[in-house]
A and B are shown apart, each in its own frame.
Chain A
Amino acid sequence: MSQPTDPSEPGFPPADRRSRLLGGFSLRDEGAKGVAIATLSTLLVLGLLAFAATRSAYWPDFKDSFLNRQVFAESFPDILRAFKRNIFYFVTAEPVILAFALLLAVFRSLRGPAFFPLRLMATIYVDLFRGIPTVLVVYALGFGMPALQIPGLPVEGWFWGWVGLILSYSAYVAEVYRAGIESVHPSQTAAARALGLGRWGTLRYVVIPQAVRRVVPPLMNDFISLQKDTALIAFVSGFIPEAFLTAQIASAATFNFTPLLGAALCFVVVTIPMTRFTDWMLERQRRQRQVGAVA
């Protein structure tokens, strides 16, 4: 089969490359007709749904209690201010999770009978915390720890809810790290050990740097999830306002659900760029692997 040389032909290589850059979407590949049909049918379905919803006898009530412009305008500034608290939870929890999870993953990947106790402890920890719903961990710590009144330890509910998020997420992130560590070929360890590096030096300079590079995109997915789950702290934080709690309070005060929409908006504005960024990184990694395979 001959390579197409006419740029207007569908198989022309540059168009192919362009389509990959655009995430598999290109006018030339699909044809303008296909795109038009897709756009039209999407609009049609959405239009029909909107039509059906607005024709409902209860539409005015629904609109009034979920999409109330006035309530939104009154409650949103407070929710947005409170959302800073969610950002704070996220930004402070994330580094702790990254460090603690790495420790767990390293413990789990140590070989040899001398490390059996560490390996066992880390395995039990990960199994346990991956098995319990995060909301239960947040509840148990957020109410349990302040109730114990242990001298020297904080008694604020939000603090222990924050700790609960860290404990729960560390178990997931540890598994992501471990997958990365195991994906580093044993010949790399052999090369490092053969140069006289010890077990620890081999992990630190050779295995972990390669492992972490590989798991950045899946780690980002866990970050996105964590950003959303900071709302769980609302259940145990008492009157320390974060976005979800503030929205709930506003909602209860106005007998209107619109403030919850405002809270959702806050989360979406942060998580959607993170999602796009993660996709971009995954795509870049995939392309690098392809280049590597060719070379």
Chain B
Amino acid sequence: MTEAVRIEGLHKRFDDLEVLRGIDLTVDEHQVVCLIGASGSGKSTLLRCINLLETPDAGTISVHGRTVTDPGADQNRLRREVGIVFQSFNLFPHMTVRRNVTLAPTKVLGLPGDEAEARADGLLERFGLADKASEYPDRLSGGQQQRAAIVRALAMEPSIMLLDEITSSLDPELVAEVLDVLRGLARSGMTMIVATHEMGFAKDVANRVCFLDDGLILEEGRPEDIFLSPREERTRRFLDRIIAAGRM
């Protein structure tokens, strides 16, 4: 299998707080890797480092064999290949859903307007948002907004998707529709790195689960191994808390 992402010795600190303390992670193409761990364990920062929304302090990140942490690396090319979806959707509130989706394809890829719109409408149709194309984001439910944000990222035809706790700010009854979208993406062979608290989803879809604790990947493996027989005490305690909270 070909490597999609290789991370070696990644460090990131914010002022006094060392958030990532030496992360090593390799993700093969068409794999789904789930990052689990408590809030503040570094999942989001790790994802934001991969497409350089945060600049790593040390370590290297390669995407499709190109080292993107080199000073001369083309950030914008990297971001065309690696899409990200955020916990808080971050749709552009002053644009219709369709315009949210076509903005980057027209301005970054230089696609003609009608071509970008055809692509957007096709994707919106596929994700059940065809009738929302002309609406503004504040007219959509949380689940619809998050699906629109996924469509917006997909419109750039990325080869890798980073998903940063994308169901965490949704009402419980809206989580399923977004997770279904992710299942579909996984089936279509999209390489995905998913920070999530949805253990059921991780169990179903992930090829590999990484448990992050205090800026390190403490344990990683197949989901059935991590969930059923974790080696580390801290992993076990984390999973116990998740079970106690009824999230698994």
Contacts and interface: CB of A to CB of B under 8 A. Distances in A.
A197 B104 contact: yes
A194 B108 CA distance: 11
Interface string A184-196: 0001101111111
B79 A195 contact: yes
A188 B92 contact: yes
Interface string B122-141: 00000000000000001000
Interface stretch (A139-147, A172-180, A205-213): A205-213
B60 interface: no
Contacts, number: 57
Interface string A207-238: 00110010000000000000000000000000
Contact of A194 (B53, B88, B103, B138): B53
Contact of A187 (B86, B103, B153): B86
A206 B79 contact: no
Given A195-B156, A196-B79, A196-B156, A190 B103 contact: no
Given A187-B86, A201-B107, A292-B138, A196 B80 contact: yes
A201 B51 contact: no
B53 A195 contact: no
Nearest to A209: B94
A209 B153 CA distance: 21
A187 B90 contact: yes
Interface string B67-96: 000000000110110011010101111100
Nearest to A202: B107
**Most chain A CB inside 10 Å of its own CB: which residue of B80, B84, B94, B152:** B94
A190 B90 contact: yes
Contacts of A7: none
* Dominant SS among interface residues on chain A: helix
A188 B103 CA distance: 14
Interface string B90-123: 1111100000000110011100000000000000
A187 B90 CA distance: 6
B94 A210 contact: yes
A194 B76 contact: no
Contacts of A273: none
A150 interface: no
Given A187-B86, A195-B104, A197-B107, A206 B156 contact: no
Interface residues of A, number: 19
Interface residues of B, number: 25
Nearest to A191: B90
Contacts of A213: 94
Contacts of A292: 138
Contacts of A188: 90, 92
A292 B93 CA distance: 11
Nearest to A291: B138
Contacts of A192: 92
A190 B89 CA distance: 11
B107 A193 contact: no
Contact of B138 (A190, A191, A295): A295
A197 B108 contact: yes
B116 to A, nearest CB: 13
A191 B91 CA distance: 8
Given A201-B107, A292-B138, A295-B138, A195 B152 contact: yes
A198 interface: yes
A206 B138 CA distance: 16
Interface string A81-105: 0000000000000000000000000
Interface string B216-234: 0000000000000000000
Contact of B103 (A193, A195, A198, A210): A195
A196 B76 CA distance: 5
29 contacts: A187-B86, A188-B90, A190-B90, A191-B90, A193-B53, A194-B51, A194-B79, A194-B153, A195-B79, A195-B83, A195-B103, A195-B108, A195-B152, A196-B77, A196-B79, A196-B80, A196-B104, A196-B108, A196-B109, A196-B156, A197-B76, A197-B103, A197-B104, A197-B108, A205-B103, A206-B92, A210-B92, A210-B93, A210-B94
Interface of B: 48, 51, 53, 76-77, 79-80, 83-84, 86, 88, 90-94, 103-104, 107-109, 138, 152-153, 156
Given A195-B108, A195-B156, 20 more contacts: A187-B86, A188-B90, A190-B48, A190-B86, A191-B86, A191-B90, A192-B92, A194-B79, A195-B79, A195-B103, A195-B153, A196-B79, A196-B104, A196-B156, A197-B107, A201-B107, A205-B92, A205-B107, A206-B92, A210-B94
